[in-house]
Structure 1
Amino acid sequence: MSDKGKSLADRIKGGLYGVAVGDALGGTTEFMSAKEIRRKYGYLTDIIGGGVWDLEPGEVTDDTMMTLCVAEGILDYPDDPMASIGERFLAWYRSDPKDIGNIIRRAFTRYDGHWFEAAFLADQDLGRSAGNGSLMRCLPVALAYADPDRVNRMSRMQSKMTHYDERCNEACGLYNRIALRLLNGEELRPAMAAETQGTPYASALAEAPDCEPTGFVVDTLRWAFYCLQQGDGFADVVQRAANLGGDSDTIGAIAGGLAGVYYGYAGIPTAFAGAILIKDRLDAVAVRLTALRQAASDDS
């Protein structure tokens, strides 16, 4: 089915809600194995909360909250948003969130006025920084800007604030290039195929990844692409992600973001969208991002 007729506003709102729904649904099964999920839930289809973080039904985790930090930071200062994004990151961190990744936590503790240096030091401290924490939050860049070069530059910038590993920066750029194609009305599977050709992610469009659904950025994105490729509609995409277990909230958020852009807010079941506890904030950001993106399109 072609989704070319969806409005920009519907796609942007769908992207934001897609992240939140995938996050809230997958939060129930995070760190579980697929076998444990089958034993406890059969096949999880509804947003019920619980899980390792003892979530309220419809409560989101760091995936959505950091996505909103990026979005609101861009809206504060579209021409140069890094400082504002960083301020919002730190304000969220000081709120003592339930869930925060080790790489991001270390970058925040290492921050002393220079984000790229903090990311480098976190990488040195941990001996790694190829997690999925910058990928999970990067979608607002594609929602905000129309110019592909700017989207690529900003995608990498927000990633490098906490993740030094180049694989993270590349993944954010790739993901948002696909998002741009979807915002411009392209079909989902051809858009993924075009951008993943010649990358480690191309095989995920043909068969299930030969890796666990871990927080390693390459594993995460491969599974997200697989769920998107195999899914039949928005709900099926995020349900597939949730039933993987492992880092299911982040895989759900990443897959859900692109699915939301493609199918639009109208394509997200009301039971899912209505369950999210921070709907007012998502709605407000969606309206403002649509206005900014429309202005960017008019200027280009």
Structure 2
Amino acid sequence: MLVELAIGDAYGAGFEYVNKKVVKEHNNLQQYIQHPRHLSIKPGCYTDDTQMSLAVAELLISDDEWMLENIANYFVNAFKRDPREGYASRFYQFLTDISDGKQFLEQIKPYSDKSGAAMRAGPIGLLADEKQIVEYATIQAKVTHDTPGGVNSAVAAALMVHYCQYQLGDKQDLGNYLKSKVPGDWNTPWQGKIGHLGVDATHAAVAAIISHQDLSAILKQCVDYTGDVDTVATIALAAASCSQEVNQDLPEVLYSELENGQFGLKYLQKLDQNLKNILIL
């Protein structure tokens, strides 16, 4: 799951808020592309979506308590060990300037309704207990996105993974399942460009999963939406990669060309296995 969400993030990063013409010409899954403006993010490199998901995953398999300061500590540590572009500029500077989770919580203004809490919530959905998923997704959201939209989108993103991993129903009923658990309109088709709101990115990810049977088609659909496509792809592939109803057919090139440094492909594969061994029934 972490590998696939990283692929969605890295592939989508080349298309984030680009001109529709670029999407039309290059969204063919044949390669990672260079973003025309974000030149520091090289093709095949993931962004903050994946790095913060790693932090969440690492805390989940640790012996540390699931609490605000520990969550913030894991976010800070993940960034400090591997500083990378992709974060919003002010948040990047914020992480650069602080030293630990305590300082993070003292200085953060956690009132965003954007998609940051949803993009990193996927690993939480591997937990077996639905009540615990809601609790954990809510707590981690409140570190940075303590708003109804921020919390609800994070809970929905985590429950998407849970629904798919534990085969709680047909893929077509994913939206109805979420609607029964989380306030929001999760079960109608998505149309148009993806903006910054967490509920919109999560809604669009649900629609992509419901509409397609292949992981490659889901990824392509996420990018075809245009806008904040790397976040949508991260959320969608985290869940869809866990579904037995989805054909796991991503092109090999997206695996082989994904970054493979210290926290790249091999690290993601190892952490994926640890999550499955520890969390999944």
Class of the TM-score when normalised by the shorter of the 2 chains: 0.7 to 0.9
Q: In 2 relative to 1, CA 252–103 (structure 1 residues): closer, same or farther, beyond 3 Å?
A: farther
Residue of structure 2 equivalent to 1:49: 33
Give 1:262 shift.
1.1
Equivalent position of 2:171 in the other structure:
188
Contact 1:224 1:255 in 2 (8 A): yes
> Which residue of the other structure, out of 238, 254, 259, is the alignment partner of 2:235?
254
Identity of aligned residues (%): 17
Further displaced range: 150-159 or 68-77: 68-77
Unpaired runs of 5+ residues, structure 1, are: 1-14, 124-128
Determine the structure 2 residue equivalent to 1:157.
Answer: 139
- Say what the alpha-carbon RMSD is for the aligned residues: 2.7
1:70 corresponds to which letter in structure 2?
V
1:113 aligned residue (78, 86, 102): 102
48, 53, 68: which one pairs with 1:67?
A: 53
Amino acid of the residue matched to residue 49 of structure 1? I
In structure 2, relative to structure 1, the CA distance for the partners of 1:136 and 1:112 (3 Å cut) is: closer
Q: Deviations over 1:135-182 (max 9, x none)?
A: 000111112x21111111111111111112121111111222232121
Distance 1:163 1:218 in 2: 12
Tell me the equivalent position of 1:146: 128
Deviations 1:179-210 (A, max 9, x none): 212111233221332222584333xx44333x
Look up the equivalent residue of 1:140 and give its one-letter code.
Answer: P
Q: Work out the CA distance in 2 between the residues paired with 1:228 and 1:138.
A: 17
Q: Deviations over 1:221-269 (max 9, x none)?
A: 2221222122231000011112322111111111111111114998143
Q: Which residue type is aligned with residue 180 of structure 1? A: H
* Unpaired stretches in structure 2, ≥5 consecutive residues: none
Letter in 2 for 1:61: T
Counting matched residue pairs gives 269
Q: 1:212 to 1:245 in 2, by over 3 A?
A: closer
| Cross-structure match for 1:100 | 87
TM-score by length of 1: 0.79
**Shift of residue 86 of structure 1?**
2.1
Cα 1:199–1:235 change in 2 (3 A) is: same
In 2, Cα distance between equivalents of 1:266 and 1:76: 32
Match in the other structure for 2:114: 131
Is the CA contact (8 Å cut-off) linking 1:49 and 1:59 kept in structure 2? no
- Structure with the greater relative contact order (CA < 8 A, sep ≥ 6): 1 or 2? 1
Matched, 1:169 2:155: no
- For 2:114, give the aligned amino acid: G
Measure, in 2, the Cα distance between the counterparts of 1:105 and 1:285.
25
